[in-house]
Amino acid sequence: MMKITFPHMGTSWIGFKTLLEGIGQEVVLPPPPTKHTLDLGTKYAPEFACLPFKVLLGTYLEAVELGADTIVSSGGVGPCRAGYYTKLQQRILQEQLGYDIRVITFEPLRRNWIGTYRILRDLVKVSFREFLGLVWLTWQKLLALDALERESYRIRPLEIETGTTSRLLTNAFADIDNADSVKEVKAATTANLETMRNIAVDPERKPLRVGIIGEIYVVLEPFVNLDVVETLGHMGVYVDKSIFLTDWTIENTVLDAFRVEGEMNIKDAARPYLPELVGGHGQNSIGETILYAKRGFDGVVQLAPFTCIPEIVAKSIIPKVSKDYNLPVLTLMLDEQTGKAGTSTRLEAFVDLLAMRRERLRGESA
């Protein structure tokens, strides 16, 4: 039996744990990233590496110390360096630091059906039928986690007692983690959505609406984005994340495997400003900004890792998009020096600006 770990990305560990334990492997849960994780990753990462690279490397080092002997991760393609990153992390762990660790990388299905089959044949210790059941259970858990999180975005800016939504959300995640069947997942989701909807709120508030765009790992992992979603929610802002893991999986695994084009709206919207793919989520960041403008959002926050070329390209184009669509955009460049207090201050100033802008627009239309 292998002792497997994997990247920590928001709450997705709940689903991956279910799948890996179910197929007969021992799981070493990746510890939630902390300052120590980042320091570790920064120490051994090349200087040019982006923040996700450093946090992931730090996570692997912590998990190896906890006994993991295998890392399961996903690869990538295109001009973004993500595709090479897993290999580079593997070299650092094995050659530079001398760890006896196996690294299993799932490449995009469309390029690698046979490789994926071989990996699964090695990993899966249960029957094909049981495996399919586990994939379905995992998928239901991931859908439930996203649904609960989406609901929290709606309620948090309206809550009367600050912090209630976050507390209930943490309990809800634990219930999904403890569910052993699809039936239990559905029951836990319904019960927790109901509990959240009963939180005491002020229905008179009209929260500002802000979209979050940027690179997938920084959008999905709260430690890396300095809890931007919760911070804005506690400032009374309704936040919408442009990326959820389940949407991304459908797009990049299922549709991509069968070469079906998805997200055409996003890419179509981006094309007049950025016609070619620049890797990562660069083109999406442009398209999503435009779609948020069309949906009447008050502003957009771009989360960009400091040396991430795709997001830097997007950042250079965003001022034009922002002007053409009259939509304020705040870019947060994130690296190991970025602090939570400074980020909160910048978010507060941005929210003040959006509130004044809304008042002005109201005055003009009255």
Shortest distance in whole angstroms from residue 311 CB to ligand SF4: 6
Question: In the complex with ligand SF4, which residue's Cβ is closer, 215 or 230?
Answer: 215
Closest CA relative to residue 142, chosen from 277, 267, 16: 16
Rounded-to-integer distance, Cα 114 and Cα 107, Å: 11
Question: In the complex with ligand SF4, which residue's Cβ is closer, 105 or 152?
Answer: 105
Tokens at 261, concatenated: 């084009």
Question: In the complex with ligand SF4, which residue's Cβ is closer, 168 or 243?
Answer: 243
Q: Name residue, tokens 């960041």.
A: 285
Question: In the complex with ligand SF4, which residue's Cβ is closer, 124 or 213?
Answer: 213
Shortest distance in whole angstroms from residue 295 CB to ligand SF4: 25
Shortest distance in whole angstroms from residue 242 CB to ligand SF4: 14
Length of the chain: 366
Shortest distance in whole angstroms from residue 253 CB to ligand SF4: 18
Angle at 94 between CA 90 and CA 96, to 5 degrees: 105
Residue pair 101/93 in contact by the 8 Å Cβ criterion: yes
Rounded-to-integer distance, Cα 107 and Cα 109, Å: 6
Shortest distance in whole angstroms from residue 307 CB to ligand SF4: 7
Question: In the complex with ligand SF4, which residue's Cβ is closer, 30 or 280?
Answer: 280
Question: In the complex with ligand SF4, which residue's Cβ is closer, 7 or 157?
Answer: 7
- Name the strands in the sheet holding 102-106, side by side, starting at the edge strand that comes first in the sequence: 26-27, 3-5, 70-74, 102-106
Rounded-to-integer distance, Cα 110 and Cα 51, Å: 28
CA atoms within 13 A on the CB side of 51: 27
Shortest distance in whole angstroms from residue 229 CB to ligand SF4: 18
**Total Cβ atoms within 10 A of residue 186:** 14
Residues at the interface with ligand SF4 (CB under 6 A): 50, 52-53, 80-82, 85, 215, 217, 280, 305, 308, 310
**Total Cβ atoms within 10 A of residue 259:** 7
Question: In the complex with ligand SF4, which residue's Cβ is closer, 57 or 82?
Answer: 82
Rounded-to-integer distance, Cα 362 and Cα 366, Å: 6
- Supply the DSSP symbol for 201: B
Rounded-to-integer distance, Cα 22 and Cα 188, Å: 20
Shortest distance in whole angstroms from residue 198 CB to ligand SF4: 39
3 state SS of 27: strand
Shortest distance in whole angstroms from residue 283 CB to ligand SF4: 12
Question: In the complex with ligand SF4, which residue's Cβ is closer, 41 or 305?
Answer: 305
Residue type for position 227: D
